[in-house]
Chain A
Amino acid sequence: RMDLEDDTTILTTLKSFNSFISQSEPPRGAILTAPPTLQSQYKRSFELLEAAEKVQSKTRFLQLDQEKKQMELSHKKARLELEKAASDSARDLEQGRNQELYARIKRLEESEAQAMERLKEQQETQRSLRKALDSLNKSLEEKEDKLSTANQTLSSLQDEIRDLKLKLQSQDSTISTQGLEKEELQEKLLLQQRKYQDVSQLCQSLQAAQSTCSEHVLKIKELERRLVLQEQDMSIVKMVKSEAAKVPELEKELKRLREDNAFLRENRENCSLLKEEAEGLRRKLERAEKTREELLSLELDKEKLAAKLEAWENLGQSSGLNIKSPEDLFREVMQIQQREITLKEQNYMLNSRVRSMERSQSELQSEACQQRACTAEEQRRREAQDSLVRRLQKRLLLLTKERDGMRGILESYDSELGATEYSPQLNRRVKEAEDLLQKTQSHNTEMEAQLTKAQEECGFLRLQLHTVSICVCRGLRFRQKIEDLEAERQRLEQLNGELEMRLEKHTLQGDFDPAKTRLLHFKMNPTAVAKQQRQQEVDSLQEEVTRLRELVRVVQESGAQDESSVLGLSLSLPPSKEVLELRKQKESSELKNQRLKEVFQKKIQEFRTVCYVLTGYQIDITTANQYRLTSVYAEHMDDSLLFKKGSSGSMQLMETEFSKTLGEMVSLHLHHQKSIPAFLSAVTLDLFSKQTVV
């Protein structure tokens, strides 16, 4: 046991041990001098037991005492550590606060810069206003005044900064007082150390004091925030007040500007009306110019056509066709037609002649055939006659021979007998023979004559054949000619058809033969009337245009000189009832719009505050489709989340300084769970827990 305890405890245990020994000696002696009786023995044992118990309790007490001392020591240590930590945290806090305050100062400076920028913008707008309204030179001075007031506000802001610094100092002093309190508490602690029994109570009280201290710190924070808010409110109020002071003046100015505006608007309307009219007139003029150009082109065309016509006429003169006009063409066509008719007639005649020729040819051919047959027969006959002649000559030869023989015989007879008894008889017979000879001779001559006749006939027939063949040749030539004529006729017919078609088309399009037809229409026909009306309209419009142009010119001139004359001139153009009505309508609608805007603004403000209170986020629209969310529990004013609305309506978180610190939550809620509300709630909870627990 002794080796377990450290030095200080050894001392105490030795003391206690001694005391223990001194205390335990009598019972031990009692045990040694044991009573005889069981009762007494029992009692003694009991007492001994009690004594042991007492010793035990004493030791326990001692133990507890030691423990307590230990506890006290540890407590002391803890105390020291705690004090150290408290002082450290206080310092840290102070530093943080200082930084915060510095940041706030910076922010204020930034806001000052922003205010400066705004101021510049305002100046610019003022300048634009000055340009828009020439007569607003005074506003510049007012703007300068504004600038000075802004400078004043700047100085006031600097004052505020100074105030804040003072407050910081005061807070430092409070911190020092708190340090004093802590010292007191430490003194108390010392007292508590001295007063052992009160230690625990004191501890509790210290804890309570600590908790109250933290509460105080929180309260201080809250108060500070409130103070800041109040200060902001104060500055806003100041601004509002200064602005409110300007209100009547501005209202006056507004009224004047409104009047000016109304007047200018009127002027502008007049101007636009005039411009429109001028535009219309210009258009009309353009159209007129165009028509003039068309006229020129038409004249050119006309010249061209005249040249063409001349060319035609020249052509007509050169070609000798004498084509000068459609009438000539028509006449030409007619001539062609007549020529064609005559050609047709010729054709028909030729055709008929050809046909008759053909017929005669066939007749001649048949005749030739007949003749040929005839000649063939004649030839045959001649041949037969030739053979007959040959036979007859043979016979004649035979007969002459016979006669010669007979004569010989007769001579022999004569020579023998002499011409006595038989001579008459013989003479008779000779005579008979001579007769016969004469007969045959005559027959022969006849035959010869017949032959020559046949030959003559044959020659004639041959001649006839020749003539017939010539005729056939001529017929063929005629046919050729007829065919040529037929082709020409067809060509002419085609041409005629074409010309007729063209003529038909012309008649379809409304052309007519001026030689036969006269074209009439009613003098006062609707087209003429309409055209006349149109012309009148154009004339009147043109007149109006010149008048209006003059007016515009006058207005522009006088507008440059002074305002009053413009007023007079514009008054000379009284606005129509419609215009007045429309103006009234426009005013009422503008008023309505204004009211709606006011109500809307009020409502939207209400909605925004409700949103801020309920969700804990202030939502601002920085640029189109970008929304900035600032939490109620944000540690810094700059801590905000930026969302961008995508083309499909989905929201995307943009990277900001603050969102960079929320990587875990972004990955969990946005990437994994894909829920923006969950992410926002998580951020809120996180910030809340950071703000409330120290």
Chain B
Amino acid sequence: VVKMTSTLKGITLKGSAELVAEFFSFGINSILYQRGIYPPETFGRVTHYDMSLQLTTDPKLKNYLTDVVSQLKEWLFECTVQRLVLVITCLETNDVLERWQFDIECDKSAKESSAPREKSIKTIQDEIRSVIRQITATVTFLPLLETPCAFDLLVYTDKDLVVPEKWEESGPQIITQSEEVRLRSFTTSIHKVNSMVAYKRSDSM
């Protein structure tokens, strides 16, 4: 990767889609680890973006994530995805407790012109790293998840998109009485990802 960054100065649509998909893969893993949705012993340590990250070793979860992320990569390449949301639901009450929302702004003009944009992968990765750091830091203010919870990934796409097999339409799973916190954003100059987290106000629980 380091060699690539030293040689490649620009970024193409394909490269951008891959970078963003990779970010989602690591970001989702981080959130699942930090919020304790899966037990910490089912995670393994890896080094990426010059930082140590946790990746799941649970085969079922792994399969699910690769399925979703590969589909997402496709949509990112087509610039048809608008938003990715990680919803954390309480299993006892079926209440939505947290929503991690990643708004994706696609520069659709990149589909026509294949000329690479002038932004080095290194700076993009630096931006991604700060976003993941912030996700890790949110544990300090988010309310503790005391009940068993499960997560779901929602993808907001363009209307004209054909729904692929294994996918189905869903509700937005909005939190009643939520607090929202905007997190950092990063851009590959083709895809801009704005992150934010909404969580159920603790006094209303």
Instruction: Let me know if B153 and A521 touch, CB within 8 A.
Output: yes
Output the nearest chain A residue to B161 by Cβ-Cβ distance: A518
Instruction: Let me know if A509 and B178 touch, CB within 8 A.
Output: yes
Residues of B within 8 A of A648 (CB): none
Output the nearest chain A residue to B160 by Cβ-Cβ distance: A518
CB proximity of B99 to chain A, nearest CB, Å: 6
Kindly state whether residue A526 has any CB partner on chain B within 8 Å: yes
> Cα distance A524–B91 when bound, in Å?
16
Total residues of chain B contacting the partner, CB 8 A: 42
Cβ-defined partner of A518 (8 Å) among B64, B94, B169, B173: B169
Residues of A within 8 A of B172 (CB): 510-512, 519
Give chain A's interface residue range (CB within 8 Å of chain B).
20 to 34
Kindly state whether residue A113 has any CB partner on chain B within 8 Å: no
Is chain B's binding surface mostly helix, strand, loop or mixed?
A: strand
Question: Which residues of B in the span 153-184 have a Cβ within 8 Å of any Cβ on A?
Answer: 153-159, 161, 163, 166-175, 178, 180, 182
What are the interface flags for A501-524 relative to B under an 8 Å C-beta threshold, 1 for contact and 0 otherwise? 000010111111001111111111
Instruction: Let me know if A525 and B99 touch, CB within 8 A.
Output: no
| Segment at the B interface, from A196-204, A259-267, A527-535 | A527-535
Cβ-defined partner of B168 (8 Å) among A509, A520, A527: A520
Instruction: Let me know if B83 and A518 touch, CB within 8 A.
Output: no
Known: A510-B174, A527-B151, A528-B152. A518 touches B168 (CB 8 A): no
Question: Which residues of A in the span 66-110 have a Cβ within 8 Å of any Cβ on B?
Answer: none
Instruction: Let me know if A530 and B91 touch, CB within 8 A.
Output: yes
CB proximity of A521 to chain B, nearest CB, Å: 4
Question: Which residues of B in the span 127-164 have a Cβ within 8 Å of any Cβ on A?
Answer: 148, 150-159, 161, 163
Instruction: Let me know if A516 and B159 touch, CB within 8 A.
Output: yes
What are the interface flags for B62-78 relative to A under an 8 Å C-beta threshold, 1 for contact and 0 otherwise? 00100110000000000
> Cα distance A619–B151 when bound, in Å?
71
> Cα distance A534–B157 when bound, in Å?
31
Interface centre among B85, B101, B161, B170 (most CB of A within 10 A): B170
Output the nearest chain A residue to B155 by Cβ-Cβ distance: A520
Instruction: Let me know if A521 and B158 touch, CB within 8 A.
Output: no
CB proximity of B181 to chain A, nearest CB, Å: 10
Residues of B within 8 A of A534 (CB): 91
What are the interface flags for A605-639 relative to B under an 8 Å C-beta threshold, 1 for contact and 0 otherwise? 00000000000000000000000000000000000
Residues of A within 8 A of B83 (CB): 512, 517
> Cα distance A63–B122 when bound, in Å?
148
Instruction: Let me know if A531 and B159 touch, CB within 8 A.
Output: no
Output the nearest chain A residue to B63 by Cβ-Cβ distance: A524
> Cα distance A515–B82 when bound, in Å?
13
Interface centre among A511, A518, A523 (most CB of B within 10 A): A518
Cβ-defined partner of A510 (8 Å) among B85, B151, B168: B85
Kindly state whether residue B16 has any CB partner on chain A within 8 Å: no
Instruction: Let me know if A520 and B170 touch, CB within 8 A.
Output: yes
> Cα distance A520–B169 when bound, in Å?
4
Residues of A within 8 A of B171 (CB): 519
Known: A508-B198, A524-B64. A518 touches B163 (CB 8 A): yes
Cβ-defined partner of A521 (8 Å) among B91, B103, B170: B170
Instruction: Let me know if A520 and B158 touch, CB within 8 A.
Output: no
Instruction: Let me know if A509 and B169 touch, CB within 8 A.
Output: no
CB proximity of B145 to chain A, nearest CB, Å: 14
Kindly state whether residue B53 has any CB partner on chain A within 8 Å: no
Kindly state whether residue B196 has any CB partner on chain A within 8 Å: yes
Output the nearest chain B residue to A507 by Cβ-Cβ distance: B103
Output the nearest chain A residue to B181 by Cβ-Cβ distance: A508
Residues of A within 8 A of B154 (CB): 519-521
Residues of A within 8 A of B157 (CB): 517-520
Residues of B within 8 A of A511 (CB): 172, 174
Residues of B within 8 A of A508 (CB): 101, 180, 182, 196, 198
Instruction: Let me know if B153 and A518 touch, CB within 8 A.
Output: no
Instruction: Let me know if A510 and B169 touch, CB within 8 A.
Output: no
Cβ-defined partner of B89 (8 Å) among A515, A518, A522, A527: A527
Kindly state whether residue B87 has any CB partner on chain A within 8 Å: yes
Instruction: Let me know if A521 and B167 touch, CB within 8 A.
Output: yes
Instruction: Let me know if A523 and B151 touch, CB within 8 A.
Output: no
Instruction: Let me know if A510 and B91 touch, CB within 8 A.
Output: no
Kindly state whether residue B61 has any CB partner on chain A within 8 Å: yes
> Cα distance A633–B67 when bound, in Å?
98
Instruction: Let me know if B159 and A518 touch, CB within 8 A.
Output: yes
> Cα distance A528–B94 when bound, in Å?
11
Residues of B within 8 A of A515 (CB): 159
> Cα distance A512–B85 when bound, in Å?
12
Known: A508-B196, A527-B89. A519 touches B156 (CB 8 A): yes
Interface centre among B152, B173, B196 (most CB of A within 10 A): B152
> Cα distance A518–B157 when bound, in Å?
5
Instruction: Let me know if B163 and A527 touch, CB within 8 A.
Output: no
> Cα distance A543–B111 when bound, in Å?
58
Instruction: Let me know if A527 and B166 touch, CB within 8 A.
Output: no
CB proximity of A199 to chain B, nearest CB, Å: 111
Instruction: Let me know if B82 and A521 touch, CB within 8 A.
Output: no
> Cα distance A260–B174 when bound, in Å?
61
Output the nearest chain A residue to B81 by Cβ-Cβ distance: A520
Residues of A within 8 A of B (CB): 505, 507-512, 515-531, 534
Can you give 19 A-B contacts (C-beta < 8 A)? A505-B180, A507-B103, A508-B180, A508-B198, A509-B99, A509-B198, A510-B172, A515-B159, A516-B159, A518-B169, A519-B154, A519-B169, A519-B171, A520-B169, A520-B170, A521-B153, A521-B154, A523-B167, A534-B91
